[in-house]
Amino acid sequence: MTPDQTPDALVIGAGPAGLMAAEMLVQSGLSVLLAEAKPSVGRKFLMAGKSGLNLTKDEPDEPFLAAFGPAGEHLHACLSEFGPEHVKRWAEDLGQTVFTGSSGRVFPEVMKASPLLRNWLARLNNKGVDLRTRWRWTGWEGSRFQFETPEGTRIVTPKVAVLALGGASWARLGSDGAWTALLAAKGAEITEFAPSNMGITVEWSPHMEPRFGSPLKSIAITCGGKTATGEAVLSRAGLEGSLIYQFSAAFRAGAELQVDLFPDLSAAQLQERIDKAGAKTSLTNILRKTLRLDPAKTALFLEFARQTPRSTLGSTLKGLTIPYTGTAPLDQAISVAGGLRWRSLSEDFELVAAKGVFCAGEMLDWEAPTGGYLITACLATGRAAGLAAARTAKALKT
């Protein structure tokens, strides 16, 4: 075994939270070793960029913070110091011009993650961050960190450490949740992971096959006491899309799902049009011709409400119950709920059970919908943990 490596700071995990923590540490004048288990960094970040990298949401502080639910009180301070406006400036400092879409979502003009990540890694390298890939953390030896690497076992003895180990979705990209056993052994409390920003499963009949992949545009969903409008997608497994993801917690609880296929019309207005069509008009013609319902919505209605009495069609179109069977599995979810409990951390994101060890990113017990909230919170917590770790390291030097 080679002699211990003794950087001022160790960061484990090279996603957005870990990269931001490493930058805060090196900017504070500390030597930084950044360890990543996979062969390359930011894999989940790059995957997010494949459909257009949504960096943040341009909206006032109050609704932005509200998206994080009960965890908002714990994230308030770091998001106040590094919120949507800060994220935009950060991206532009890395040479990526951003724009705000009509929904308030903020994207780089190139719509990709790779140019931003490439520039960020170059900046960290120029500042002296020592990046090691294929370094998998396997546990503690007292206050020392042990890694399995291509060169064998390595031991790192830093003054401080930041853990940015991800959640437990998309294991092939590095977020496998294997760290939970290591922290639990130290006495940290961990809430079991559950899928978030995931699709739901529906047992379709064969007649739905031609509609898989079709969007359900301009619909409203009511579930768990909340209503929101937007777009979903019919998939072979069930329903997916940003509108579906907003109801992750309600779906996990099994709350009833109702879809409003005409959010801009009342049930009375719809029923009036239906009644005018006449009793001899078939249900299919009422949907397609009288109401001009598109093929995807028509198929969905016929799947679950074909036997609806003509007299109640209007109200059923406004509240179509979808009998979903569950949620997509954890490893197919965009993110997770659960993780390291807040009471296991100080206000500065330091582990109560391991002084000098700070935590950030998706491994913390918070969840938020897609729309820029996820990346912003990872950056903000990484920044806060990095700065707190830097203060601790400097205090130890004096």
Determine, yes or no, domain membership for 123: yes
SS3 209: helix
Domain membership of residue 294 as a residue range: 200-327
Tell me: do 53 and 191 sit in the same domain: yes
Tell me: do 294 and 206 sit in the same domain: yes
Kindly tell me if the per-residue pLDDT of 350 is higher than 60: yes
Tell me: do 346 and 319 sit in the same domain: no
Tell me: do 248 and 307 sit in the same domain: yes
Determine, yes or no, domain membership for 307: yes
Determine, yes or no, domain membership for 121: yes
Determine, yes or no, domain membership for 1: no
Q: Read off the pLDDT of residues 41-51 as tens digits, 9 standing for 90 and up.
A: 999 999 887 87
Kindly tell me if the per-residue pLDDT of 215 is higher than 80: yes
Residue 1 — pLDDT band, cuts 50, 70, 90?
A: very low
pLDDT at 171: 85
Tell me: do 209 and 344 sit in the same domain: no
Tell me: do 271 and 174 sit in the same domain: no
pLDDT at 273: 95
Look at residues 327, 347, 370 and tell me which one is the last residue of a structural domain: 327
Determine, yes or no, domain membership for 148: yes
Tell me: do 143 and 27 sit in the same domain: yes
Q: Read off the pLDDT of residues 357-397 as tens digits, 9 standing for 90 and up.
A: 999 999 999 999 888 999 999 999 999 999 999 999 999 87
Look at residues 327, 351, 374 and tell me which one is the last residue of a structural domain: 327
Q: What is the pTM of this model?
A: 0.92
Determine, yes or no, domain membership for 241: yes
Residues with Cβ within 8 Å of residue 181, at least 6 apart in sequence? none
Q: Retrieve residue 214's tokens.
A: 């079709």
Residue 398 — pLDDT band, cuts 50, 70, 90?
A: low
Tell me: do 155 and 229 sit in the same domain: no
The per-residue b/e assignment along 97-121, b for 16 or more CB within 10 angstroms, e otherwise, is ebeeeeeebbbbeeebbebbbeebb
Tell me: do 261 and 143 sit in the same domain: no
Task: Say how far apart CA 272 and CA 221 lie, in whole Å.
Answer: 23
Tell me: do 29 and 143 sit in the same domain: yes
What is the residue-averaged pLDDT of the chain? 95
Task: Say how far apart CA 66 and CA 369 lie, in whole Å.
Answer: 11
Q: Read off the pLDDT of residues 233-287 as tens digits, 9 standing for 90 and up.
A: 999 999 999 999 999 999 999 999 999 999 999 999 999 999 999 888 999 999 9
Per the structure, the count of domains in the chain is 2
Tell me: do 216 and 282 sit in the same domain: yes
Look at residues 327, 356, 383 and tell me which one is the last residue of a structural domain: 327
The DSSP call for residue 288 is I
Tell me: do 159 and 236 sit in the same domain: no
The DSSP call for residue 4 is P
CATH of the domain at 58: 3.50.50.60
Determine, yes or no, domain membership for 4: no
Determine, yes or no, domain membership for 50: yes
Dihedral (C-alpha) 185, 189, 193, 194: value to the nearest 10 degrees?
160
Q: Once rounded to an integer, what is the mean pLDDT over residues 311-316? A: 96
Residues with Cβ within 8 Å of residue 398, at least 6 apart in sequence? none
Residue 143 — pLDDT band, cuts 50, 70, 90?
A: confident
Q: Read off the pLDDT of residues 109-139 as tens digits, 9 standing for 90 and up.
A: 999 999 999 999 999 999 999 999 999 999 9
Q: Retrieve residue 285's tokens.
A: 């013609």
